Amino acid sequence: MKPHPHDTALEDTAIAWLAERDDGFSAEREREFAQWLRADPRHAATVARLEQTLGLLGEMPAFRAELNTEFGRTASVVPFPPARAAVAAPAHRARRWPRVLGWGGVAAALALGSLVGWRALRSPDEIRYTTTVAGYERARLDDGSTLELNAASAVRVQFTAAERRVHLESGEAHFAVAHDRTRPFIVSAGPIAVRAVGTAFNVRYTSDGGVEVTVTEGKVRIGQSGPASSSAESAPLLSAGQRIFLPKHAPLPAVEHVEPAALRAAFAWQSHLADFADASLADVIARFNARSRVQLFLAEAELGARRIGGTFALDEAEVFVRLLERDGEIIGERRGETEIHLRRAR
């Protein structure tokens, strides 16, 4: 199935930027690239996905050889770059990348995504994402929400003018939901529906029909599948740091509180990259603190309103702080090995 035309054009543009960056940016072109990344959150997300794909291919010699054979090239002995490199829109640093397949082969690698563990199929009414037993998928949905799919998982995404609905057919998925009060975001897994407006949560559908829901940000309401029942006010409400497991055909259990360390361990399978588009510094810090051993604090509360955009590795809090310090307006004060307090430069 052919990719969506707009997605193809965006990927082509991102590949062209990365190819030029590979040859070496001038200072002016580096500024223009940073402006392009900031112009639309999909730009940074596409670049991050391309980098992650190249990193995954670099760890799969057999697949790399297959692609090189397909395009009549001999594979270089130089490895691909790391998959977890951060792409920071405000201050991107140019890097030299080896051309193992050549950038023309990157598009082919994306088209053969199922071979690196995931597949996305689009029809007029829905998009279906699946992963293999060793796969992982991270996708930006049409409304700006982010989907992360664990191994051996499958979802169907159906968006209408009235609602945003995702059907988790198997496995586990994490959602960072874009705020839209006019269109509720509902995830169905078997008989259970999880309803959110603007939040982040995880849903795991077990092989025996049970459903586990864990909230990492905001709140969600648990109900039965179906538009009417899933929004019932009597349904259980879960807040950040809470989890519930609903066995098939069993009474509703009690809500469980989950410690931050346990949350990080449970979600270790997720990508460490996160996209932010005009987000507040306070919200970005909350995401870092949920995933990183190093905790960030605002020494001055008003700094929390600053707007941030870019794609960052959530397990690299030190790198994020150094990016903030580049413009000379914010300083990070290190207190021990696990705390950094952010304040204005004097």
Condensed to tens digits (0 to 9), the pLDDT of residues 76-105 reads: 333 333 333 333 333 333 333 433 344 445
Kindly report, residue by residue over 6-47, the tens digit of the pLDDT. Answer: 456 777 788 778 777 776 778 788 888 888 888 877 787 777
127 found inside a domain? no
Residues 210 and 283 in one domain: no
Specify the pTM.
0.50
Q: What is the pLDDT of residue 165?
A: 95
- The CATH number assigned to the domain holding 289 equals 3.55.50.30
**Domain range for residue 290?**
271-344
Domain end, chosen from 260, 285, 315, is at 260
145 found inside a domain? yes
Residues 162 and 92 in one domain: no
Q: What is the pLDDT of residue 171?
A: 94
338 found inside a domain? yes
125 found inside a domain? no
pLDDT tier at 262, thresholds 50, 70, 90: confident
What's the chain look like in SS3? CCCCHHHHHHHHHHHHHHHHHHHCCCHHHHHHHHHHHHHCHHHHHHHHHHHHHHHHHHCCHHHHHHHHHHCCCCCCCCCCCCCCCCECCCCCCCCCCCCCCCCHHHHHHHHCHHHHCEEEEECCCCEEEEECCCCCEEEECCCCCEEEECCCCEEEEEECCCCEEEEEEEEEEEEECCCCCCCCEEEEECCEEEEECCCEEEEEECCCCCEEEEEEECEEEEEECCCCHHHCCCCCEEECCEEEEECCCCCCCCCEECCHHHHHHHCCCCCCEEEEEEEEHHHHHHHHHHHCCCEEEECCHHHHHCEEEEEEECCCHHHHHHHHHCCCCEEEEECCCCEEEEEECC
Domain end, chosen from 114, 146, 163, is at 114
CA 46 → CA 14, 38, 63, 194, distances in Å?
7, 12, 22, 28
pLDDT tier at 257, thresholds 50, 70, 90: very high
Tally of domains in the chain: 3
Cα gap 77→66, rounded to integer Å: 15
pLDDT tier at 66, thresholds 50, 70, 90: very low
Residues 178 and 242 in one domain: yes
Residues 166 and 238 in one domain: yes
Would the pLDDT of 234 be above 60? Answer: no
Would the pLDDT of 2 be above 50? Answer: no
182 found inside a domain? yes
pLDDT tier at 238, thresholds 50, 70, 90: very high
